[in-house]
């Protein structure tokens, strides 16, 4: 599990909004490093809490079934429709097969 918590766990809720790493941190904290062997068809979403907290998980999962450009556009639109209460940034990466 790489030391990460399930998104709906009490541990994840307790850790929310705790800034522990940032550029210029005096303690030079070590980054989280995770080894992943991506497979063709895998989809990765990197997003801010403006997406993760305003768009329901099941809707995010649905939207990630689209082409990456469309998924990003729709994720941002759903966050805005939900109130747009926070900055929303999304990057969707789809792993393709090598020819």
pLDDT in tens, 47-63: 988 998 899 999 999 99
pLDDT at 41: 92
* Mean pLDDT, all residues of the chain: 86
Instruction: List, in order of start, the domains of the chain with CATH numbers.
Output: 10-94 (3.60.40.10)
Strand partners, 94: 43
pLDDT at 77: 97
How many C-beta neighbours within 10 Å does residue 88 have? 22
pLDDT at 3: 56
pLDDT at 39: 93
pLDDT at 99: 60
Residue ranges of the chain with per-residue pLDDT less than 70? 1-3, 98-99
């Amino acid at each position: 599990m790489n030391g990460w918590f399930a998104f709906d766990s009490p541990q994840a809720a307790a850790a929310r909004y705790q800034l522990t790493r940032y550029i210029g941190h005096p303690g030079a904290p070590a980054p989280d490093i995770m080894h992943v062997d991506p497979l063709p068809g895998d989809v990765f979403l990197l997003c801010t809490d403006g997406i993760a907290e305003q768009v329901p998980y099941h809707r995010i999962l649905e939207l990630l079934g689209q082409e990456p450009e469309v998924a990003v556009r729709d994720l941002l639109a759903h966050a805005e429709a939900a109130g747009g209460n926070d900055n929303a940034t999304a990057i969707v990466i789809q792993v393709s097969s090598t020819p």
